[in-house]
Structure 1
Amino acid sequence: MAERTVLLDPTPTAPVPVRTLTGLARGLLRTTRPRQWVKNLLVVAAPAAAGQLFSRHAVIQLALVFVLFTACAAAVYLINDARDAEADRAHPVKRHRPVATGQVPVPLAYAAGGVLAVLAPTAAALLSSPVTAALLTAYLGMQLAYCVSLKHVLVVDLAVVTTGFLMRAMIGGLALGIPLSRWFLITTGFGALFMVAAKRYSEAVQLAGNAGATRALLTEYTTGYLRFVWQLAAGVAVLGYCLWALEEGGVPSAGVLPWRQLSMVAFILAVLRYAVFADRGAAGEPEDVVLRDRALALIGLVWLAMYGLAVVNW
Structure 2
Amino acid sequence: MTRRHNVSRTRKDHMTATDAPPGSATRGVLRASRPRQWSKNLLVLAAPVLSGELTHGDVVWHTVVAFVAFCCAASGVYLINDAGDIEADRAHPTKRNRPIAAGVVSTRTAYTVGVVLNIAAVAVSFLAGWELAAVVATYLVLSAAYSRWLKHEPVLDIAIIATGFLLRAIAGGAASGIELSQWFLLSASFGSLFMAAGKRYAEAALTEPGLVRRSLTKYTPTYLRFVWTMSAGLLIMTYGLWAFELNDAATGSPLFVASMAPFVLAVLRYAVSIDAGVAGEPEEIALRDRVLQVLALVWLLLVAGAVYLG
**Are 2:252 and 1:294 equivalent residues in the alignment?**
no
Q: Does 1:93 align with 2:91?
A: no
Question: Equivalent residue of 1:99, what SS?
Answer: coil
How many Å separate the matches in 1 of 2:287 and 2:98? 23
Q: How does 1:241-280 map to 2 (within 5 A)?
A: 241-253=239-251, 257-280=253-276
1:220 matched to 2:218? The reply is yes
Q: Offset at 1:21?
A: 6.3
Q: Would you say the 8 A contact 2:43–2:169 is kept in 1? A: yes
Q: Structure 1 residues 101 and 175 mapped into 2: Cα distance closer, same or farther (>3 Å)? A: same
Q: Which amino acid aligns with 1:295?
A: V
Q: What is aligned with 1:3?
A: none
TM-score norm. by structure 1 comes to 0.90
> In structure 2, what is the equivalent of residue 167 of structure 1?
167
- How far apart are 1:77 and its partner, in Å? 0.5
Q: Secondary structure at the match of 2:157?
A: helix
1:128-147 pair list within 5 angstroms: 128-147=128-147
Q: Please tell me the residue identity of whatever aligns with 2:165.
A: F
Deviation (angstroms), 1:65: 1.2
User: What SS class does the counterpart of residue 250 from structure 1 fall into?
Assistant: helix
SS in 2 for 1:312: helix
Q: SS of 2:101's equivalent?
A: helix
Measured after TM superposition, the shift of residue 213 of structure 1 is: 4.1
Shift of 1:199: 1.8
Query: Runs of 5+ in structure 2 lacking a partner?
Result: 1-6
SS of residue paired to 2:180: coil
CA distance in 2, matches of 1:82, 1:177: 36
| Other-structure match for 1:304 | 300
Q: What is aligned with 1:185?
A: 185
Deviations 1:96-139 (A, max 9, x none): 111112211111111111111122212322x1201111111111
Contact 1:92/1:213 (<8 A) preserved: no
Partner SS, residue 19 of structure 2:
coil
Corresponding residue pairs, total: 300
Do the aligned residues in 1 keep the contact of 2:187 with 2:235 (CA within 8 Å)? yes
Aligned to 2:4: none
Task: State the match for 2:229 in structure 1.
Answer: 231
| Paired position in structure 2 for 1:7 | none
Match of 2:115? 114
Question: Which structure 1 residue ranges, 5 or more long, are not aligned?
Answer: 1-9
1:44-63 alignment, distance < 5 Å? 44-63=45-64
**Counterpart position of 1:211:** 209
Equivalent-residue separation in structure 2 for 1:60 and 1:252 (angstroms): 27
Q: Does structure 1 conserve the Cα–Cα contact (< 8 Å) formed by 2:73 and 2:117?
A: yes
CA RMSD of aligned residues (A): 1.9
The equivalent residue for 1:282 is 278
C-alpha separation in 2, matches of 1:87 and 1:24: 21
Alpha-carbon separation, structure 2, partners of 1:251 and 1:175 = 25
* Partner AA of 2:283 in structure 1: E
Partner of 2:65: 64
Give the conservation status (yes or no) of the 8 Å contact 1:91–1:212.
no
Task: From the CA coordinates, give the structure whose radius of gyration is larger.
Answer: 1
